[in-house]
């Protein structure tokens, strides 16, 4: 494999200027926020090009601009073989221009056969009717050519996600084969499936296709890619050949601190405040098949435990398993030295847990209900159906938290959907603070909200810990975690791989742990 | 890493049993259950009602004769269910079809053929209206067709509150025209060879059945219906025109509902307000029992045909029994429908879990 | 122009604006047609008049609409079996009392039996919807068909008449009370439901589950159980409506009790300003909606439209209202308005 890659790379160098896609100075504003700022991106034939960046870096926006799912304000896109700049208005148009995309969720029809999914919209006909025999034969041949050995007459839902993805890829390159975008295709695949996908990708690369590979898994980048483009906060950080960018450097570039500056980060938190740790919650071998591998974790009063790791590393899954949002199927959980049997989130709440989910809109707020109702809902659920919180108390609680958290709302009866993102998040925080939990899980509480509110939430987290609560804090922004966390758990590949505490918590150490042992 | 041949299929290579198993289970499973159920019921009928000539070819043909309209309507229903919708207006559409035919021929003195054409145009228009509301205004199909059901029933009553009997000669000639089969005859009591016969409606039903089968399996449009029913979003991303596909399916459905109504009318040769009440249930039940799940994306018109036959056999049993209320057949069908819905829901949940 | 717009907006934002407007329109039409419309007289010691008649006849529908409102709010669907369940419960009540000169069993036992049947029907529907994840209208389709069939079996396909005079009290008048009994029953059902929703947290739970069942689960609500309960409640409502209906006619005709009421109930919920796709609801809206429907029915009768023809007009009203609620039409309307006022609606960044 090494040999082949070297050979290939030489070919690449010889064909310098073999660009099939160039994007220049792409700028896109998203309701006043600059989502992409003068971003350049170049894709050559015969290469697999990783597009890297943390949440909000602008990866998906760049892809959307390229595929015509979103418009852009300025800049130009050129595709080899087309003489003028290209603006795609829809994914279909992009496909006609030679750009196909395969997403993590397979956009094929599970109820149709593999061959039909391959051909749909362009079925082969004989005597005016569909010629199934030829279609099956041709599809079979197309898959054989890609070394995918499957029965094309079975319906797609007989196959694993990995195969479905390959079918989608085969279809995409069969329709138009210049640029193939793979948007996090490996998120739900296991190791051997990933390896099979990779060999397919290499095969396509060797046929002259340029592949844009979006992923959060560092190992995979080094396993399959030739080149890396890193974005951060909507700006281009740089384009690198893989061999010139060691893993640690990549993490540093994605996370936003140059490697040398790392030591300079200060922590606002007063250290060593807790002298005699009292364990609040302890997980022993807790795990959830297919989501998070078994882990041990114990959290004490006054602890702010950070979960760090790249997206998809199992951060949220760990939290969800503890709260019972996904039912754990192995191990046990003890809270305040009592064994818990959690069958539903309500059990976790009754034991004194609180959970602010990652996806505010889908799992957090109840859009049409008022601020008041959203705030008291959790406490009410804890109390049960018959012990209704009196109107007076409801209003008192709501006003109290609107005041404490400085929630900006015209009044407490406003539907929560009319609030800004940051204020919605505060409403959910208020909902949980009202239940006076011993253990709070905050999954990305600061995502997508303004800087001022971010700081407020960070302060709140620290002060909650000082009040003796245990807090679990998940964030993609490492600085934020350094500022707030007293201990750090490092996650990689759906398992807990390490724990840092005290002076060990430096950006340097965290990044090393995230990047993992093997370096390229 | 070498590019070794990838064996990705869970049915590795030449494992024939694995392939057969994969084909058998999944949604096709429902179709096998249906056909198996029909065969068991038919054999049971042969044994239990031996003295009542249940095995007679004519008795079997009567199953189809009395349900020709239902077959045609259920074929339309099958397409609607495959695309992920539902239509509960068909019973009323049949009533209004019969009433329009009767009124036009008896009160308006319009010829049978023009009347039939006008009625079919009405069906297309009705289907187009429902389809537009569902596809383009995105209103739940159930609400639209519920309103459609009441609309058509009310319209029937507006046309005439009294029963109208059809006396138009052309129409009756078509209705009573017996087409004898060249085989399967038996000697009657006088020793004369009597061949089994069918009416033109049966031929019509079979033509519709076969034409729809070809359309669903061998045309682009037919495959679009499955694609949209399987995953609307994917179909959209693959460049299919989802809205138009839905719209046309409801038009076809409206057309077939009125065509079914005409077949129904040829059987009853008369119309009254209450006609075809609960017919939509029969159509939905036959389709669902025939292996077309309510979740869309899967279905087969031949399954629907067997679904209709099962319903017909149940009715024949109830009538052969003599002392049973005819309501029993409705209750049994509803129970069977419930059973199939639960079965489908379980299969769907299992598939979801597997993901 | 701007001022006019803001006045319009203020008026249209009064709670229950739509249902009240509809009721108002229907009443105006009636007043023009029948000047004596609002006159109430006393005949034979009871109140008499159009208005009384409308309120009396709408009682059953109000009860059904209350149940339907909760079902629509929690599960974003409708229970179309209510008419058939009404017929079945009525049939069980009459059949258990018998057609003799005296009841075969105490009246109250028979009533409880009918309500029990309603609960069982609700359990079947609720189980299919919440635990088997069948679409609400498909799940309730089973009883929609079978319900009347079973009712026919219970009555032996006959129209049964009940002889004791007391049987009619529920559907007509109690001795020496000038107001029709169904009004009291409807009021009791509405008040009890209202109290339960106000004095427990169920009202909020039902809305929360209907709006966002995922988030509801994470704050500790048992979404499935809540949906299940609303269907059982709807079954009870159908049973009560069925009891009133059989008492009105002193008989059971399984073919005709509660015929077409499912459409009326859905219509009442929609006219009440409630979304049929789940979420926030207003009980009072549905009550006003139910009265509006009955007023419309009475009006159409007064215009010599036969009972069989009524569905035609009601279907048109349903489609218009549902089409106005459709997101596509709302978007058209918004676009039209933003073109007029040029004020961009504030969007929120995800």
What is the pLDDT, as a whole number, of residue C303?
Answer: 81
Burial pattern B3-34, b for ≥16 Cβ within 10 A else e, equals eeebebbebeeeeeeebeebbeebbbebbebb
Residue A14 has pLDDT above 50, yes or no: no
Number of domains in chain A: 4
Provide CB contacts within 8 A for B155, sequence distance 6+: B96, C312
- Beta-sheet pairing, A227-232 with A74-79: unpaired
- pLDDT of B26 reads 58
Whose CA is closest to A197, among A209, A188, A179, A185? A185
Contacts of A188 (CB under 8 A, 6+ apart): A104, A161
A382 Cα to chain C: minimum distance (Å): 7
Both A116 and A143 in a single domain?
yes
- Would you say residue A453 lies in a domain? no
Boundaries of domain holding B164: 58-276
Among A20-24, A63-67, A506-510, C90-94, whose mean pLDDT is lowest?
A506-510
In this structure, the answer to whether residues A171 and A211 fall within a common structural domain is no
Q: Does A380 touch chain C (CB under 8 A)?
A: yes
Task: Say whether pLDDT at B354 is over 80.
Answer: no
Given a cut of 70, is residue A297 above it in pLDDT? yes
Please tell me the predicted confidence (pLDDT) of residue C260.
Answer: 80
CB contacts, 8 Å: C149 with chain B: 327-328, 330-331, 334
Distance CA B291, CA A189 (A): 33
| Set of chain B residues whose Cβ sits within 8 Å of the Cβ of A157 | 26, 351
Q: Residues of chain A with pLDDT > 90: what percent?
A: 22
ipTM exceeding 0.95, yes/no = no
Mean per-residue pLDDT, B9-18: 48
* pLDDT of the residue at A12: 42
Residue A395 falls inside a structural domain: yes
pLDDT at B12 over 70: no
Contacts of B147 in chain C (CB under 8 A): 263, 315-316, 318-319, 322
Residue A96 contacts B where some CB pair is shorter than 8 Å: no
Chain B hits for C308, Cβ within 8 Å:
153-154, 156-157, 161, 273
pLDDT for B13 equals 41
Locate the chain B residue with the closest alpha carbon to C131.
B345
Distance CA C290, CA A201 (A): 63
Range of the domain at A493: 280-352+439-445+470-520
Number of H helices, E strands in chain B: 15, 6
Q: Pick the residue with more confidence: A419 or C218?
A: C218
**Which tens digit of pLDDT belongs to each residue from C10-67?**
766 666 777 788 888 888 888 887 777 778 888 877 888 888 888 899 999 999 999 9
Question: Average pLDDT, stretch A28-37?
Answer: 76
Q: How confident is the model at residue C348 (pLDDT cuts 50, 70, 90)?
A: very low
Determine, for residues C208 and A388 on separate chains, whether the beta-carbon distance falls below 8 Å: no
Distance from CA of A410 to the nearest CA of C (A): 15
Out of C146, C260, C277, whose CB is closest to B150? C260
Question: Does residue B261 belong to any structural domain of this protein?
Answer: yes
Provide CB contacts within 8 A for B306, sequence distance 6+.
B34, B35, B38, B290
For the record, the structure tokens of A500 come out as: 């840092």
Q: Report, as an integer, the average pLDDT of A305-322.
A: 84
Q: Is residue A268 part of a domain?
A: no
A289 interface with B at CB cutoff 8 Å: no
pLDDT tens sequence across A98-132? 888 888 777 889 889 999 999 988 888 888 888 99
Residue indicated by tokens 């509150």: B161
List residues in chain C touching A: CB distance below 8 A.
199-202, 204-205, 207-208, 211-212, 214-222, 279-280, 347-350
pLDDT band at B264 (very low <50, low <70, confident <90, very high): very high
DSSP 3-state assignment of A412? coil
pLDDT at A5 over 50: no
With an 8 Å Cβ cutoff, is A55 touching chain C?
A: no
Q: What is the SS3 assignment for A16?
A: coil
What are the start-end ranges of the H helices in A315-472? 315-323, 345-350, 371-383, 391-404, 421-433, 451-466
B/C interface, count of CB pairs below 8 Å:
138
| CATH classification of the domain holding A60 | 3.40.50.300
- The whole-angstrom separation of Cα A335 and Cα A299 is 10
Q: What is the pLDDT of residue A270?
A: 47
Give chain B positions within 8 Å (CB) of A120: 223, 227, 238, 240
Chain A positions touching B220 (Cβ under 8 A) are 123, 125, 130
For residues C222 and C130, give the distance between their C-alpha atoms in angstroms, rounded to a whole number: 11
Residue A478 neighbours by CB under 8 Å, 6+ apart? A255, A256, A257, A308, A507, A510, A511
pLDDT at position A267, please? 44
Contact A202 B3 (CB under 8 A): yes
Rounded CA separation A42/A61 (Å):
16
Which residue in the set A362, A378, A386 is minimally distant from C214, CB to CB?
A362
Specify the pLDDT at position B20. 58
For residue C212, the distance in angstroms to the closest alpha carbon of chain A comes to 6
From A353's Cα to the closest Cα of chain B, the distance in A is: 28
pLDDT tens digits for A480-507? 888 888 888 988 878 888 888 877 887 7
Contacts of C280 in chain A (CB under 8 A): 368-369
- Pairwise CA distance, residues B314 & B326, whole Å: 10
The pLDDT tens digits of the residues spanning C267-322 come to 899 888 888 888 889 999 999 999 988 988 888 888 888 888 888 888 888 788 77
One domain for residues A74 and A17: yes
B18 domain residue, yes or no: no
Q: Which residues in chain B have their CB less than 8 angstroms from residue C263's CB?
A: 146-147, 150
The reply to whether residue B223 touches residue A112, judged by beta carbons under 8 angstroms, is yes
Q: Which residues in chain C are contacts of A344 at CB distance < 8 A?
A: 217, 220, 222
CA gap A381, C200 in Å, rounded? 11
A177, two tokens:
């084969």
pLDDT of residue A275: 56
The answer as to whether A459 is a domain residue is no
A401 pLDDT band (50/70/90 cuts)?
very high
- Predicted local distance difference test score (pLDDT) of residue B16: 59
Q: Are B296 and B231 in contact (CB under 8 A)?
A: no
Residue A452 in any domain: the answer is no
Q: Is A33 on the interface with B (CB under 8 A)?
A: no
Contacts of B143 in chain C (CB under 8 A): 78, 266, 276, 318, 322
Return d(Cα B309, Cα B39) in angstroms, integer.
10
Report d(CA B155, CA B125) in Å as an integer: 14
Indicate if A21 and A92 belong to the same structural domain.
Answer: yes
Least confident residue range of A237-246, B3-12, C17-26, C312-321: B3-12
Query: Do A336 and A380 reside in the same domain of the chain?
Result: no
Q: Residue A162: list chain B partners with CB under 8 A.
A: 8
pLDDT higher than 50, residue B182? yes
Q: For chain C, what is the mean pLDDT?
A: 86
Residues of chain A in contact with residue C199, where contact means CB-CB under 8 angstroms, are 388
CA distances (Å), origin A152, targets A155, A259, B297, B352, C71: 8, 50, 18, 22, 44
Query: Using the beta-carbon criterion (under 8 Å), do C132 and B154 form an inter-chain contact?
Result: no
Structural domain contains residue B250: yes
Integer Cα distance of A465 and A484 in angstroms:
10
Higher local confidence (pLDDT), B305 or A453: B305
Residues of chain C with Cβ-Cβ distance to B330 below 8 Å are 145-146, 148-149
pLDDT band at A518 (very low <50, low <70, confident <90, very high): very low
Among C33, C57, C14, C15, residue whose Cα is nearest residue C291: C57
For the residues of B235-264, what is the DSSP string, one character each? HHHTT--HHHHHHHHHHHHHHHHHHHHHHH
Ranges of each domain in chain C: 60-283
The answer to whether C115 and C240 have CB atoms below 8 angstroms apart is yes
Question: End of a domain among A199, A233, A261?
Answer: A261
Indicate the pLDDT class of residue B127, thresholds 50, 70 and 90: very high
Choose among A221, A233, A228, A335: nearest CA to A284: A335
**Which chains border C (3 or more CB–CB pairs < 8 Å)?**
A, B
Q: How many Cβ pairs within 8 Å bridge chains A and B?
A: 105
Residues 16 to 35 of A: which have CB under 8 A from any C CB? 30-31, 33
Percent of chain B with pLDDT over 70: 91
Q: What's the farthest any 2 CA atoms get from each other in chain A?
A: 84
Lowest mean pLDDT of A348-357, B319-328, C59-68, name the range: B319-328
Q: Which residues of B touch C132 (CB under 8 A)?
A: 341-342, 345-346
Query: Is the Cβ of A413 closer than 8 Å to some Cβ of chain C?
Result: no
Instruction: Read off the pLDDT of residues A420-433 as tens digits, 9 standing for 90 and up.
Output: 778 889 999 999 99
* A319 and C CB contact within 8 Å: no
User: What's the pLDDT tens digit per position in B279-322?
Assistant: 888 899 899 889 888 888 888 899 999 999 999 999 888 888 87
User: Cα–Cα distances in Å, from A269 out to A503, A510, C22, C280?
Assistant: 13, 18, 62, 44
Q: What is the pLDDT of residue C235?
A: 97
Weakest mean pLDDT among A124-133, A391-400, B176-185: B176-185
A448 and C208: CB-CB below 8 Å?
Answer: no
Q: Are residues A94 and A7 in the same domain?
A: yes
Q: What is the mean pLDDT of residues B33-50?
A: 88
B168 belongs to a structural domain = yes
Asked if A406 and A457 count as a contact pair (C-beta separation under 8 A), the reply is no
List of chains touching A (3+ CB pairs within 8 A): B, C
For residue B355, name the pLDDT band (cuts at 50, 70, 90). low
Pairwise CA distance, residues A203 & C272, whole Å: 62
pLDDT at residue A189 above 60? yes
- A260 pLDDT band, cuts 50/70/90, is very low
Task: Name which of A46-55, A70-79, B315-324 the model is least confident about.
Answer: B315-324
Q: Which of A301-305, A452-456, B220-224 has the highest mean pLDDT?
A: B220-224
Burial of C275 (0-12, 13-18, 19+ CB in 10 A): middle
Tell me: do A182 and A257 sit in the same domain.
yes
Task: Count Cα neighbours of A87 within 13 Å in the Cβ-side half-sphere.
Answer: 9
Asked if A415 contacts A443 with a C-beta cutoff of 8 angstroms, the reply is no
| pLDDT value at residue C1 | 57
Tell me, yes or no, whether A456 lies in a domain. Answer: no
> What pLDDT is attached to residue C13?
66
B55/C350: higher pLDDT: B55
Q: Phi and psi at residue A488, in whole multiples of 5°?
A: -135, 130
Query: Within this chain, do residues A182 and A230 fall inside the same structural domain, yes or no?
Result: yes
CB contact under 8 A, B1 and A111: no
Q: Which of C212, C220, C349 lies closest to A33 in CB terms?
A: C349
Task: Return the higher-pLDDT residue of A264 and C340.
Answer: C340
Most C-contacting residue of B143, B279, B294 (CB-CB within 10 A), to test interface: B143
Question: What's residue C14's pLDDT?
Answer: 66
A346/C220 CB distance under 8 A: yes
Determine whether the interchain pair A151/B19 forms a contact, defined as Cβ–Cβ distance below 8 Å.
yes
Environment class of A248 (CB within 10 Å of its CB; exposed 0-12, middle 13-18, buried 19+): middle
Number of domains chain B is built from: 1
User: What is the tens place of the pLDDT at every residue in C156-175?
Assistant: 888 899 888 888 888 888 88
Interface test with chain B among A93, A121, A156, A202, by most B beta carbons within 10 Å: A121
Among chain C residues, the shortest Cα distance to A423 is held by C348
Residue B202: name the closest of B330, B55, B95, B308 by CA: B308
Q: Flag whether pLDDT at B24 surpasses 60.
A: no
**Two structure tokens written together for B247:** 């719209």
Q: Are strands A470-474 and A439-443 parallel, antiparallel or unpaired?
A: parallel
**Residues B135 and B254: beta-carbon distance below 8 Å:** no
Q: Which two tokens stand for residue A181?
A: 């975008």
């Amino acid at each position: 494999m090494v040999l082949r890659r070297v050979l290939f790379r030489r070919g690449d160098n010889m064909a310098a200027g073999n660009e099939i896609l160039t994007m220049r100075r792409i700028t896109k504003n998203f309701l006043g926020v600059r989502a992409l700022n003068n971003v350049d991106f170049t894709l050559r034939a015969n290469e697999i090009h990783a597009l890297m960046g943390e949440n909000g870096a602008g990866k998906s926006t760049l892809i959307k601009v390229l595929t015509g799912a979103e418009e852009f304000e300025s800049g130009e896109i050129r595709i080899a073989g087309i003489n003028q700049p290209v603006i795609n208005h829809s994914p279909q148009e992009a496909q006609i221009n030679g750009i196909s995309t395969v997403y993590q969720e397979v956009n094929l029809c599970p109820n149709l056969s593999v061959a039909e999914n391959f051909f749909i919209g362009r079925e082969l006909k004989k005597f005016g009717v569909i010629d199934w025999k030829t279609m099956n034969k041709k599809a079979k041949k197309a898959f054989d050519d890609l070394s995918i050995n499957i029965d094309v007459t079975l319906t797609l839902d007989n196959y694993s996600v990995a195969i479905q993805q390959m079918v989608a890829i085969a279809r995409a390159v069969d329709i138009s084969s210049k640029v193939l975008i793979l948007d996090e295709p490996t998120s739900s695949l296991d190791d051997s499936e990933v390896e099979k996908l990779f060999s397919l990708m290499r095969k396509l690369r060797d046929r002259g296709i340029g592949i844009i590979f979006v992923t959060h898994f560092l190992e995979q980048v080094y396993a399959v890619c030739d080149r890396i483009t890193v974005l951060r906060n909507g700006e281009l950080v740089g384009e690198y050949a893989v061999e010139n960018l060691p893993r640690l450097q990549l993490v540093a570039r994605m996370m936003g601190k140059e490697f040398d500056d790392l030591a300079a980060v200060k922590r606002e938190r007063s250290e060593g405040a807790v002298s005699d740790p009292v364990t609040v919650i302890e997980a022993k071998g807790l795990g959830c098949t297919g989501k998070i591998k078994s882990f041990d974790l114990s959290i004490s009063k006054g602890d702010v435990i950070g979960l760090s790791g790249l997206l998809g590393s199992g951060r949220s899954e760990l939290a969800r398993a503890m709260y019972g949002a996904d039912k754990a199927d192995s191990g046990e959980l003890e809270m305040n030295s009592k064994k818990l049997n959690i069958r539903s989130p309500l059990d976790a709440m009754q034991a004194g847990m609180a959970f602010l989910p990652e996806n505010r809109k889908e799992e957090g707020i109840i859009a049409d209900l008022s601020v008041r109702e959203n705030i008291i809902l959790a406490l009410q659920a804890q109390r049960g159906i018959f012990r209704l919180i009196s109107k007076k108390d409801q209003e008192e609680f709501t006003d109290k938290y609107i005041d404490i958290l400085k929630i900006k709302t015209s009044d407490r009866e406003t539907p929560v959907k009319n609030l800004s993102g940051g204020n919605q998040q505060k409403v959910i925080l208020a909902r949980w603070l009202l239940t006076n939990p011993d253990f709070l899980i905050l999954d990305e509480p600061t995502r997508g909200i303004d800087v001022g509110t971010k700081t407020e939430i960070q302060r709140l987290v620290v002060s909650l810990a000082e009040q003796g609560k245990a807090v679990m804090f998940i964030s993609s922004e490492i600085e934020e975690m350094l500022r707030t966390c007293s201990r750090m758990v490092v996650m990689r590949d759906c398992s807990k791989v390490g724990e840092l505490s005290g002076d060990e918590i430096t950006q340097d150490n965290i990044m090393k742990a995230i990047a993992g042992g093997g370096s390229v | 890493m070498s590019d070794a041949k990838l064996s990705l299929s869970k049915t590795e290579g030449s494992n024939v049993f694995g392939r057969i198993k994969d084909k058998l289970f999944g949604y096709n499973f429902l179709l096998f259950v249906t056909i198996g159920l029909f065969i068991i019921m038919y054999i049971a009928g042969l044994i239990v009602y031996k003295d009542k000539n249940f095995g007679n070819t004519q008795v079997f043909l009567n199953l189809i004769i009395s349900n020709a309209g239902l077959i045609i309507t259920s074929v339309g229903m099958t397409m609607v269910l495959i695309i992920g919708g539902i239509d509960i207006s068909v019973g009323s559409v049949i009533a209004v079809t019969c009433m329009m035919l009767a009124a036009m021929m008896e009160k308006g003195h319009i010829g049978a053929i023009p009347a039939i054409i006008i009625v079919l145009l009405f069906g297309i228009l009705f289907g187009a209206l429902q389809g537009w509301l569902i596809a383009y205004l995105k209103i739940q199909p159930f609400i639209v067709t519920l309103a459609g059901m009441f609309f058509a029933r009310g319209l029937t009553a507006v046309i005439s509150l009294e029963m109208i009997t059809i006396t138009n000669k052309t129409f009756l000639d078509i209705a009573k025209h017996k087409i004898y089969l060249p085989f399967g005859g038996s000697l009657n009591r006088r020793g004369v060879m009597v061949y089994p016969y069918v009416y033109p409606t049966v031929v019509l039903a079979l033509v519709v059945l076969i034409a729809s089968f070809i359309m669903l399996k061998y045309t682009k449009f037919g495959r679009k219906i499955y694609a949209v029913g399987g995953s609307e979003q994917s179909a959209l991303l693959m460049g299919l025109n989802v809205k138009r596909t839905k719209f046309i399916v409801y038009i076809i459905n409206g057309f077939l509902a009125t065509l079914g109504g005409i077949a129904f009318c040829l059987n009853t040769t008369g119309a009254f307000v209450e006609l075809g009440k609960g017919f939509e249930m029969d159509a939905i039940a036959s389709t669902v029992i025939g292996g077309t799940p309510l979740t869309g994306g899967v279905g087969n018109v031949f399954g629907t045909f067997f679904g209709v036959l099962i319903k017909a056999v149940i009715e024949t049993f109830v009538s052969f029994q003599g002392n049973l209320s005819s309501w029993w057949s409705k209750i049994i069908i509803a129970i069977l429908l419930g059973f199939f819905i639960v079965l489908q829901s379980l299969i769907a949940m299992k598939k979801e879990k597997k993901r | 122009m701007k001022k006019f717009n803001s006045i319009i907006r203020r008026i249209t934002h009064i709670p229950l604006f739509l249902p009240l407007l509809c009721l108002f329109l229907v009443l105006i039409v009636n007043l023009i047609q029948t000047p004596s419309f609002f006159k109430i007289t006393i005949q034979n010691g009871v109140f008499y008049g159009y208005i009384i008649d409308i309120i009396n006849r709408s009682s059953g529908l109000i009860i059904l609409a209350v149940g339907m409102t909760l079902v629509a709010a929690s599960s974003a669907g409708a229970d179309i079996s209510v008419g058939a369940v009404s017929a079945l419960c009525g049939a069980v009540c009459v059949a258990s009392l018998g057609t003799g000169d005296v009841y075969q069993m105490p009246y109250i036992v028979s009533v409880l039996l009918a309500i029990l049947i309603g609960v069982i029907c609700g359990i079947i529907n609720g189980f299919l919807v919440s635990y088997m994840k069948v679409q609400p209208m498909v799940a309730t389709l089973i009883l929609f068909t079978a319900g009347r069939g079973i009712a026919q079996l219970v009555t032996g396909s006959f129209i049964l008449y009940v002889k004791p005079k007391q049987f009619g009290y529920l559907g007509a008048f109690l001795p020496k009370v000038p107001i029709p009994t169904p009004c009291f029953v409807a009021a009791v059902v509405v008040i009890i439901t209202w109290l339960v929703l106000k004095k427990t947290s169920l009202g909020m739970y039902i809305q929360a589950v209907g709006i966002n069942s995922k988030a509801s689960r994470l704050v500790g609500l048992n979404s499935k159980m809540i949906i299940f309960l609303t269907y059982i409640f709807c079954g009870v409502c159908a049973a009560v409506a069925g009891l009133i209906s059989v008492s009105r006619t002193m008989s059971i005709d399984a073919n005709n009790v509660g015929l077409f009421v499912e459409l009326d109930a859905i219509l009442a919920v929609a006219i009440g300003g409630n979304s049929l796709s789940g979420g926030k609801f207003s009980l009072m809206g549905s009550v006003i909606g139910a009265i509006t429907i009955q007023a419309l029915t009475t009006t159409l009768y007064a215009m010599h439209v036969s009972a069989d023809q009524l569905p035609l007009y009601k279907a048109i009203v349903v489609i218009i209202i549902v089409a106005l609620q459709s997101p596509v039409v709302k978007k058209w309307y918004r676009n039209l308005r933003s073109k007029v006022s040029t004020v961009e609606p504030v969007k929120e960044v995800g």
